[in-house]
Structure 1
């Protein structure tokens, strides 16, 4: 408000007297009374002071709001996601956009579902991407997308156990941390969960990451149930093959953005969440 006070300091006494007279005429009462050498504000003047002060406060708030709108958000945005999210088109797109916010630091953790939920509850992250339906009294879940799963292998011969008398007992299944929901979703959609559930305890290969599992599959070590978007290019080029019991089968699981209930997230976090939502719809052509 310094501009207003600067202007007031340049107003002459006659001008002030004229303005007071006009204001008194408009309000229909005296604003000041002279008592000896003193000028005392009347009750009307005091009421006007309260009213005008509230207006000046509103002006200050409005100016602050405008100023804050011009300031780029700053601080740290902390979120977590499953490893499969690194292959999604919207993740790649958002990584290209974050440089628009030079004052925001990003801390992105790659974690399984349970660890993401724990991190949210303990306040270590601002939000997280989680797979599948969840109910938790401290968290709220907003649908973000759907993740589709495929059983893939480098060689079609690796799918033969499904067609032989030995059945799935000879299936060379590749596992990795956090793969269980992928497996369960695909196996139930294929109607093979009972047949394959024993493989949960007896994988042919257990490797420490999804990326490692994809490398193993590409090398011909066995078959894997993988989020389809992670191997989309390999399927298109024929480097990998997909097997499913019917052409119409779709195995998918919803992906949610999880936040703490009742918490108002900083502006910088809300901006990034909105960017993620928008990037999902901008020409990706993907469900993930």
Structure 2
């Protein structure tokens, strides 16, 4: 029995995650199906590819060699697909794009605009927190990433395309609502709802508060922007979120923007890829589309997400 590309894809996925379970989830398979395929691959090679030490999975020497070979094989296949696409002159293929959690509110609208222009391009959208997205960048798992805080210690190319204002929020019944020009240390007097460690939003907020010597003592850590919004509406405290993520709640009066000095925190959403990455035709088409149609895209997003503000 010969090894197959499918088996190599599954092996590469397990090697990235060091987890059969997470690989099965990504590949939309059952864990036993992944295990069977990799067992067959090991039988063909005649050497074990993984070993378990304690509860952790590790690559063997053979696994490490195969991982390097897989990266080369799939890189060559990607290059072949790009070359054939250019020869055909027809824009198709798959755009693999990962976005940080806060971008999930507007990214589908951008991708919808893009797909109307390029209906033959398939889109695979992955949503993760910042740390997970950075790992995906390092492992070359996606064509492009959408994020706001681009690290300076990685060799990345970034294209800013949209402002990302982060605003202080509370339920309309909160005692701070209606106050004007609140000092930034007003946050310290209330429970502050925040994202988990590894979130880009949390890092931006902590950096901003640190610059103003504000220390938060009463913190409630919640796992997503959606959970924070529900916590705000339940009166659990106050928080800071991207305006894109709360447009509906502001428009319907479920949440209220607080008037606090030094806000909003304004960052830029960026398209990001590794500087050594060879972009697929689909990825280059998306970058070109955003450069050409950026004003229309920004206007659409502004009308959809940015109209609600402090009265």
**TM class, shorter-length:** 0.5 to 0.7
Q: How do 1:126-145 residues align onto structure 2 when only pairs under 5 Å count?
A: 126-145=143-162
Q: Deviations over 1:121-142 (max 9, x none)?
A: 2111112122225223532222
Change (3 A) 1:83 1:278: farther
Q: TM-score, normalised by structure 1?
A: 0.61
The equivalent residue for 1:180 is 202
Q: TM-score, normalised by structure 2?
A: 0.57
For the residue of structure 2 that corresponds to 1:107, the secondary structure is: strand
The equivalent residue for 2:264 is 250
In 2, Cα distance between the equivalents of 1:132 and 1:111? 14
Q: Deviations over 1:88-128 (max 9, x none)?
A: 2x631423542665543322221222322221121111121
1:274 maps to 2:288: yes
1:155 maps to 2:172: yes
Change (3 A) 1:272 1:261: same
Q: How do 1:50-199 residues align onto structure 2 when only pairs under 5 Å count?
A: 68-69=88-89, 71-74=90-93, 76-88=94-106, 91-95=108-112, 97-98=114-115, 101=118, 103-159=120-176, 168-177=187-196, 178=199, 179-184=201-206, 187=209, 193-195=212-214, 197-199=215-217
Gaps (5+ residues) in structure 2? 1-83, 307-311
Moved over 6 A (4+): 64-67, 160-164
The equivalent residue for 2:277 is 263
Change (3 A) 1:96 1:127: closer
The equivalent residue for 1:4 is none
In 2, Cα distance between the equivalents of 1:123 and 1:66? 22
Determine which structure has more spread, i.e. the larger CA radius of gyration: 1
Gaps (5+ residues) in structure 1? 1-63
Change (3 A) 1:254 1:108: same
Q: How do 1:31-50 residues align onto structure 2 when only pairs under 5 Å count?
A: none
In 1, Cα distance between the equivalents of 2:253 and 2:104? 22
Q: Deviations over 1:29-53 (max 9, x none)?
A: xxxxxxxxxxxxxxxxxxxxxxxxx
Q: Deviations over 1:169-215 (max 9, x none)?
A: 54121122313134236536xx7x422x334xx41x32221112112
Change (3 A) 1:134 1:65: closer
Aligned residues: 213
